[in-house]
Protein backbone atom coordinates (compact mmCIF):
# COMPACT_ATOMS: atom_id res chain seq x y z
CA UNK A 1 0.00 0.00 0.00
CA UNK A 2 1.09 3.54 -0.69
CA UNK A 3 0.68 6.47 1.65
CA UNK A 4 -1.50 9.11 0.05
CA UNK A 5 -1.00 11.49 2.97
CA UNK A 6 2.28 11.66 4.80
CA UNK A 7 2.77 13.79 7.90
CA UNK A 8 6.28 14.23 9.29
CA UNK A 9 7.25 15.79 12.62
CA UNK A 10 4.30 18.14 12.48
CA UNK A 11 4.11 20.72 15.26
CA UNK A 12 1.64 23.51 15.76
CA UNK A 13 1.95 26.17 18.41
CA UNK A 14 -0.80 28.80 18.32
CA UNK A 15 -0.04 32.47 18.89
CA UNK A 16 0.56 32.75 22.61
CA UNK A 17 2.68 29.61 22.50
CA UNK A 18 0.08 26.92 23.17
CA UNK A 19 1.30 23.68 21.62
CA UNK A 20 -1.76 22.10 20.03
CA UNK A 21 0.26 19.49 18.09
CA UNK A 22 3.46 17.94 19.35
CA UNK A 23 5.49 16.26 16.63
CA UNK A 24 2.88 14.23 14.83
CA UNK A 25 4.00 11.48 12.43
CA UNK A 26 1.30 9.82 10.41
CA UNK A 27 0.95 7.96 7.11
CA UNK A 28 -2.49 7.52 5.65
CA UNK A 29 -2.86 4.67 3.17
CA UNK A 30 -4.76 5.06 -0.04
CA UNK A 31 -8.30 3.70 0.28
CA UNK A 32 -8.46 3.35 4.03
CA UNK A 33 -10.83 4.85 6.56
CA UNK A 34 -8.90 6.28 9.48
CA UNK A 35 -10.80 7.44 12.55
CA UNK A 36 -9.11 9.89 14.89
CA UNK A 37 -10.58 9.56 18.30
CA UNK A 38 -9.96 12.04 21.05
CA UNK A 39 -11.59 14.18 23.73
CA UNK A 40 -12.45 17.89 23.33
CA UNK A 41 -9.37 19.98 22.77
CA UNK A 42 -7.19 16.97 21.85
CA UNK A 43 -6.02 18.66 18.65
CA UNK A 44 -8.15 16.81 16.09
CA UNK A 45 -9.38 19.89 14.22
CA UNK A 46 -5.93 21.47 14.37
CA UNK A 47 -4.41 18.31 12.87
CA UNK A 48 -6.95 18.16 10.06
CA UNK A 49 -6.73 21.84 9.20
CA UNK A 50 -2.94 21.71 9.24
CA UNK A 51 -2.95 18.67 6.93
CA UNK A 52 -5.36 20.48 4.63
CA UNK A 53 -3.06 23.51 4.56
CA UNK A 54 -5.61 25.85 6.16
CA UNK A 55 -3.55 26.23 9.33
CA UNK A 56 0.17 26.82 8.93
CA UNK A 57 2.36 24.35 10.80
CA UNK A 58 5.02 25.67 13.17
CA UNK A 59 7.34 22.99 11.82
CA UNK A 60 7.22 19.72 9.97
CA UNK A 61 5.85 18.71 6.57
CA UNK A 62 2.70 17.30 5.04
CA UNK A 63 2.45 15.80 1.58
CA UNK A 64 -0.74 14.76 -0.18
CA UNK A 65 -0.28 12.58 -3.24
CA UNK A 66 3.36 13.61 -3.15
CA UNK A 67 2.57 17.36 -3.15
CA UNK A 68 3.85 19.41 -0.23
CA UNK A 69 0.97 21.39 1.30
CA UNK A 70 3.27 24.38 1.90
CA UNK A 71 5.33 24.61 -1.27
CA UNK A 72 2.78 23.06 -3.64
CA UNK A 73 -0.46 24.13 -1.98
CA UNK A 74 -2.77 24.23 -4.97
CA UNK A 75 -1.94 20.75 -6.20
CA UNK A 76 -2.15 19.32 -2.69
CA UNK A 77 -5.39 21.12 -1.86
CA UNK A 78 -6.99 19.99 -5.10
CA UNK A 79 -6.67 16.40 -3.97
CA UNK A 80 -8.38 17.10 -0.65
CA UNK A 81 -12.01 17.53 0.31
CA UNK A 82 -12.70 18.97 3.76
CA UNK A 83 -15.95 18.81 5.65
CA UNK A 84 -15.56 21.26 8.50
CA UNK A 85 -16.83 20.75 12.02
CA UNK A 86 -19.01 23.87 11.88
CA UNK A 87 -21.82 24.08 9.34
CA UNK A 88 -21.54 27.20 7.22
CA UNK A 89 -23.71 27.42 4.12
CA UNK A 90 -25.45 30.16 2.19
CA UNK A 91 -29.05 29.77 3.37
CA UNK A 92 -30.78 31.09 0.24
CA UNK A 93 -28.75 29.23 -2.37
CA UNK A 94 -30.09 25.99 -3.77
CA UNK A 95 -28.40 22.72 -2.96
CA UNK A 96 -27.29 22.29 -6.57
CA UNK A 97 -25.75 25.73 -6.97
CA UNK A 98 -24.03 25.48 -3.58
CA UNK A 99 -22.28 22.31 -4.65
CA UNK A 100 -21.54 23.54 -8.17
CA UNK A 101 -19.97 26.70 -6.79
CA UNK A 102 -17.52 24.64 -4.71
CA UNK A 103 -16.37 22.80 -7.82
CA UNK A 104 -15.72 26.12 -9.54
CA UNK A 105 -13.54 27.27 -6.65
CA UNK A 106 -11.07 24.56 -7.53
CA UNK A 107 -10.91 25.62 -11.15
CA UNK A 108 -12.54 22.41 -12.31
CA UNK A 109 -14.57 22.63 -15.55
CA UNK A 110 -18.32 22.81 -15.09
CA UNK A 111 -19.88 19.35 -15.06
CA UNK A 112 -23.52 19.38 -13.98
CA UNK A 113 -23.90 15.63 -14.50
CA UNK A 114 -21.08 15.09 -11.99
CA UNK A 115 -22.80 17.35 -9.45
CA UNK A 116 -26.04 15.40 -9.87
CA UNK A 117 -24.11 12.16 -9.43
CA UNK A 118 -22.63 13.44 -6.16
CA UNK A 119 -26.05 14.58 -4.92
CA UNK A 120 -27.48 11.16 -5.73
CA UNK A 121 -24.63 9.46 -3.87
CA UNK A 122 -25.57 11.48 -0.79
CA UNK A 123 -29.32 10.89 -1.20
CA UNK A 124 -29.85 14.57 -1.93
CA UNK A 125 -31.16 14.22 -5.49
CA UNK A 126 -34.71 15.16 -4.50
CA UNK A 127 -33.41 18.26 -2.66
CA UNK A 128 -31.45 19.45 -5.68
CA UNK A 129 -33.47 22.64 -6.22
CA UNK A 130 -34.37 23.32 -2.59
CA UNK A 131 -32.91 26.29 -0.78
CA UNK A 132 -30.42 25.31 1.91
CA UNK A 133 -32.53 27.03 4.57
CA UNK A 134 -35.32 24.48 4.06
CA UNK A 135 -33.11 21.49 4.90
CA UNK A 136 -32.82 19.61 8.17
CA UNK A 137 -29.53 19.57 10.08
CA UNK A 138 -28.63 16.11 8.83
CA UNK A 139 -29.29 17.14 5.22
CA UNK A 140 -27.14 20.25 5.63
CA UNK A 141 -24.33 18.05 6.82
CA UNK A 142 -24.71 15.96 3.68
CA UNK A 143 -24.64 19.14 1.58
CA UNK A 144 -21.31 19.95 3.26
CA UNK A 145 -20.03 16.54 2.21
CA UNK A 146 -21.32 17.08 -1.34
CA UNK A 147 -19.52 20.45 -1.43
CA UNK A 148 -16.31 18.79 -0.26
CA UNK A 149 -16.65 16.17 -3.01
CA UNK A 150 -17.55 18.60 -5.79
CA UNK A 151 -14.01 18.83 -7.17
CA UNK A 152 -13.57 15.03 -7.02
CA UNK A 153 -10.88 14.86 -4.34
CA UNK A 154 -9.04 11.61 -3.62
CA UNK A 155 -8.90 12.21 0.12
CA UNK A 156 -11.83 13.34 2.22
CA UNK A 157 -11.51 14.77 5.71
CA UNK A 158 -14.62 14.72 7.86
CA UNK A 159 -14.34 16.70 11.07
CA UNK A 160 -16.95 15.30 13.47
CA UNK A 161 -19.39 14.15 10.78
CA UNK A 162 -21.98 13.07 13.30
CA UNK A 163 -21.80 15.87 15.85
CA UNK A 164 -25.37 16.89 16.59
CA UNK A 165 -26.74 14.14 14.39
CA UNK A 166 -29.27 11.71 15.83
CA UNK A 167 -28.61 7.98 16.05
CA UNK A 168 -30.49 7.10 12.88
CA UNK A 169 -28.83 9.79 10.79
CA UNK A 170 -25.49 8.77 12.21
CA UNK A 171 -26.04 5.31 10.76
CA UNK A 172 -26.96 6.91 7.42
CA UNK A 173 -23.70 8.84 7.63
CA UNK A 174 -21.82 5.58 8.17
CA UNK A 175 -23.42 4.21 5.01
CA UNK A 176 -22.45 7.32 3.08
CA UNK A 177 -18.87 6.88 4.27
CA UNK A 178 -18.87 3.21 3.31
CA UNK A 179 -20.13 4.09 -0.19
CA UNK A 180 -17.45 6.76 -0.57
CA UNK A 181 -14.79 4.27 0.41
CA UNK A 182 -16.16 1.81 -2.14
CA UNK A 183 -15.85 4.54 -4.78
CA UNK A 184 -12.13 4.76 -3.97
CA UNK A 185 -11.97 7.82 -1.71
CA UNK A 186 -9.57 7.74 1.24
CA UNK A 187 -11.35 8.97 4.37
CA UNK A 188 -10.08 10.52 7.57
CA UNK A 189 -12.67 11.38 10.16
CA UNK A 190 -12.57 12.67 13.67
CA UNK A 191 -15.04 11.66 16.29
CA UNK A 192 -15.81 11.58 19.98
CA UNK A 193 -17.97 8.56 19.43
CA UNK A 194 -16.13 5.39 20.08
CA UNK A 195 -18.89 3.32 18.50
CA UNK A 196 -18.44 5.36 15.34
CA UNK A 197 -14.76 4.45 15.10
CA UNK A 198 -15.64 0.87 15.96
CA UNK A 199 -18.34 0.75 13.28
CA UNK A 200 -16.60 2.22 10.25
CA UNK A 201 -12.85 2.60 10.60
CA UNK A 202 -10.15 0.36 9.18
CA UNK A 203 -7.63 2.01 11.47
CA UNK A 204 -8.05 3.95 14.66
CA UNK A 205 -5.79 6.66 16.01
CA UNK A 206 -6.16 7.88 19.56
CA UNK A 207 -5.15 11.49 20.00
CA UNK A 208 -4.90 13.43 23.23
CA UNK A 209 -3.11 16.63 24.19
CA UNK A 210 -1.62 17.09 20.74
CA UNK A 211 -0.11 13.63 20.53
CA UNK A 212 -1.06 10.41 18.80
CA UNK A 213 -1.05 7.93 21.64
CA UNK A 214 -1.71 4.97 19.44
CA UNK A 215 -2.57 4.19 15.86
CA UNK A 216 -3.49 0.72 14.85
CA UNK A 217 -5.56 -1.54 12.69
CA UNK A 218 -8.95 -1.61 14.37
CA UNK A 219 -9.41 -5.37 14.38
CA UNK A 220 -5.86 -5.89 15.64
CA UNK A 221 -6.33 -3.31 18.33
CA UNK A 222 -9.49 -4.89 19.55
CA UNK A 223 -8.04 -8.38 19.43
CA UNK A 224 -4.85 -7.37 21.16
CA UNK A 225 -6.49 -5.52 23.95
CA UNK A 226 -9.78 -7.37 23.91
CA UNK A 227 -10.17 -9.01 27.26
CA UNK A 228 -13.32 -10.66 28.41
CA UNK A 229 -14.70 -10.84 31.89
CA UNK A 230 -16.81 -13.54 33.40
CA UNK A 231 -18.90 -12.65 36.41
CA UNK A 232 -19.96 -15.49 38.62
CA UNK A 233 -22.87 -14.81 40.97
CA UNK A 234 -22.85 -16.96 44.10
CA UNK A 235 -25.74 -18.49 46.00
CA UNK A 236 -24.07 -17.64 49.30
CA UNK A 237 -21.69 -14.73 49.88
CA UNK A 238 -18.10 -15.82 50.32
CA UNK A 239 -15.96 -14.01 52.91
CA UNK A 240 -12.78 -14.65 50.93
CA UNK A 241 -11.44 -16.38 47.85
CA UNK A 242 -10.56 -20.00 48.62
CA UNK A 243 -6.80 -20.69 48.32
CA UNK A 244 -7.49 -23.41 45.74
CA UNK A 245 -8.74 -20.67 43.39
CA UNK A 246 -5.80 -18.30 43.87
CA UNK A 247 -4.31 -19.04 40.44
CA UNK A 248 -7.35 -17.54 38.70
CA UNK A 249 -6.73 -14.11 40.25
CA UNK A 250 -10.42 -13.61 40.80
CA UNK A 251 -11.86 -10.36 42.03
CA UNK A 252 -14.36 -10.57 44.82
CA UNK A 253 -17.23 -8.07 44.91
CA UNK A 254 -17.26 -6.11 48.19
CA UNK A 255 -20.44 -7.91 49.30
CA UNK A 256 -18.90 -11.31 48.48
CA UNK A 257 -21.84 -12.26 46.27
CA UNK A 258 -19.92 -12.43 43.04
CA UNK A 259 -16.48 -13.18 41.65
CA UNK A 260 -15.04 -11.82 38.42
CA UNK A 261 -12.60 -13.68 36.22
CA UNK A 262 -10.69 -11.86 33.47
CA UNK A 263 -9.44 -13.89 30.54
CA UNK A 264 -7.94 -13.38 27.15
CA UNK A 265 -10.11 -14.42 24.24
CA UNK A 266 -6.99 -14.90 22.11
CA UNK A 267 -5.23 -17.25 24.48
CA UNK A 268 -4.97 -20.98 23.67
CA UNK A 269 -7.55 -21.67 26.38
CA UNK A 270 -9.73 -19.45 28.50
CA UNK A 271 -9.55 -21.58 31.65
CA UNK A 272 -13.28 -21.26 32.21
CA UNK A 273 -14.02 -24.99 32.32
CA UNK A 274 -11.41 -25.73 34.95
CA UNK A 275 -12.42 -22.64 36.91
CA UNK A 276 -16.03 -23.76 37.06
CA UNK A 277 -14.94 -27.25 38.17
CA UNK A 278 -12.63 -25.80 40.82
CA UNK A 279 -15.37 -23.52 42.10
CA UNK A 280 -17.60 -26.50 42.63
CA UNK A 281 -14.82 -28.46 44.38
CA UNK A 282 -14.25 -25.46 46.66
CA UNK A 283 -17.91 -25.66 47.65
CA UNK A 284 -19.04 -22.45 45.98
CA UNK A 285 -22.45 -22.68 44.39
CA UNK A 286 -23.23 -20.33 41.55
CA UNK A 287 -26.56 -18.91 40.54
CA UNK A 288 -25.65 -17.05 37.36
CA UNK A 289 -22.86 -16.34 34.88
CA UNK A 290 -22.32 -13.27 32.75
CA UNK A 291 -19.63 -12.38 30.25
CA UNK A 292 -18.61 -8.92 29.16
CA UNK A 293 -16.34 -8.02 26.27
CA UNK A 294 -14.10 -5.02 26.70
CA UNK A 295 -14.63 -2.53 23.91
CA UNK A 296 -12.69 0.16 22.19
CA UNK A 297 -14.28 2.43 24.76
CA UNK A 298 -12.45 0.70 27.62
CA UNK A 299 -9.22 0.92 25.69
CA UNK A 300 -9.72 4.58 24.95
CA UNK A 301 -10.76 5.56 28.45
CA UNK A 302 -7.86 3.53 29.84
CA UNK A 303 -5.32 5.27 27.60
CA UNK A 304 -6.58 8.79 28.08
CA UNK A 305 -6.68 8.24 31.83
CA UNK A 306 -3.13 6.88 31.89
CA UNK A 307 -2.03 10.00 30.04
CA UNK A 308 -3.70 12.41 32.49
N1 LIG B 1 -6.98 29.53 16.82
C2 LIG B 1 -6.57 29.06 18.00
N3 LIG B 1 -5.80 29.82 18.84
C4 LIG B 1 -5.36 29.36 20.01
N5 LIG B 1 -5.61 28.12 20.48
C6 LIG B 1 -6.37 27.31 19.70
C7 LIG B 1 -6.89 27.74 18.44
N8 LIG B 1 -7.58 26.72 17.89
C9 LIG B 1 -7.51 25.70 18.78
N10 LIG B 1 -6.78 26.06 19.87
C11 LIG B 1 -6.47 25.21 21.03
O12 LIG B 1 -5.81 24.04 20.58
C13 LIG B 1 -6.28 22.88 21.28
C14 LIG B 1 -6.79 21.87 20.29
O15 LIG B 1 -7.97 22.36 19.68
P16 LIG B 1 -8.73 21.59 18.54
O17 LIG B 1 -9.85 22.42 18.07
O18 LIG B 1 -7.75 21.12 17.55
O19 LIG B 1 -9.28 20.33 19.37
P20 LIG B 1 -10.30 19.20 18.94
O21 LIG B 1 -9.66 17.89 19.27
O22 LIG B 1 -10.75 19.41 17.54
O23 LIG B 1 -11.50 19.45 19.95
P24 LIG B 1 -13.09 19.25 19.76
O25 LIG B 1 -13.34 17.80 19.99
O26 LIG B 1 -13.68 20.07 20.83
O27 LIG B 1 -13.47 19.71 18.39
C28 LIG B 1 -7.32 23.38 22.26
O29 LIG B 1 -6.71 23.54 23.52
C30 LIG B 1 -7.75 24.71 21.70
O31 LIG B 1 -8.15 25.59 22.71
MG1 LIG C 1 -12.56 19.76 16.68
227-307 adopts what CATH topology? Alpha-Beta Plaits (3.30.70)
Ligand 1 and 44: CB distance under 6 A: yes
Work out the mean pLDDT of the chain and round it to a whole number: 90
The confidence score (pLDDT) of residue 7 equals: 97
pLDDT in tens, 136-170: 888 898 999 999 999 999 999 999 988 777 777 78
- State the ligand closest to the CA atom of 44: 1
The confidence score (pLDDT) of residue 1 equals: 60
Closest protein CA for atom 6 of ligand 1: 14
CATH class for the region spanning 3-223? alpha beta
Q: For residues 224-249, give the mean pLDDT.
A: 88
The confidence score (pLDDT) of residue 21 equals: 97
Ligand 1 and 50: CB distance under 6 A: no
Q: What is the pTM of this model?
A: 0.80
The confidence score (pLDDT) of residue 219 equals: 84
Ligand 1 and 43: CB distance under 6 A: yes
Ligand 1 and 40: CB distance under 6 A: yes
Q: Please, where in the chain does CATH 3.40.50.300 lie?
A: 3-223
The confidence score (pLDDT) of residue 152 equals: 93
The confidence score (pLDDT) of residue 306 equals: 66
Residue 288 has pLDDT above 90, yes or no: yes
- State the ligand closest to the CA atom of 206: 1
Q: Please, where in the chain does CATH 3.30.70 lie?
A: 227-307
DSSP string for the chain: --EEEEEEEEEEE-TTS-EEEEEEEEEEETT-EEEEE--TTSSHHHHHHHHTTSS--SEEEEEETTEETTTTHHHHHHTEEEE-SS----TTSBHHHHHHHHHHHTTPPP-HHHHHHHHHHTT-GGGTTSBGGGS-HHHHHHHHHHHHHTT--SEEEEESTTTT--HHHHHHHHHHHHHHHHTT-EEEEEES-HHHHHHH-SEEEEEETTEEEEEEEHHHHHHHH-EEEEEEEESS--SS--GGGGGG--EE-TTSSEEEEEEETTSS---HHHHHHHHHHTTPPEEEEEEEE--HHHHHHHHHHHH-
Closest protein CA for atom 17 of ligand 1: 45
Residue 266 has pLDDT above 80, yes or no: no
Ligand 1 and 41: CB distance under 6 A: yes
Residue 104 has pLDDT above 80, yes or no: yes
Amino acid sequence: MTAIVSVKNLRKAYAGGFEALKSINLDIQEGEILALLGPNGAGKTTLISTICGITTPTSGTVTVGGHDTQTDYRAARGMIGLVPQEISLEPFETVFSTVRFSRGLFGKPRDDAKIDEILAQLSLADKRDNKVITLSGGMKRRVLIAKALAHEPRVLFLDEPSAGVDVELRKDMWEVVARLKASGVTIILTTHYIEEAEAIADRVGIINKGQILLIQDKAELMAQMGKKQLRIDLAVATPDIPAALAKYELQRAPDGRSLTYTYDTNGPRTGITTLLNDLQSAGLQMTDLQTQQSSLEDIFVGMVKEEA
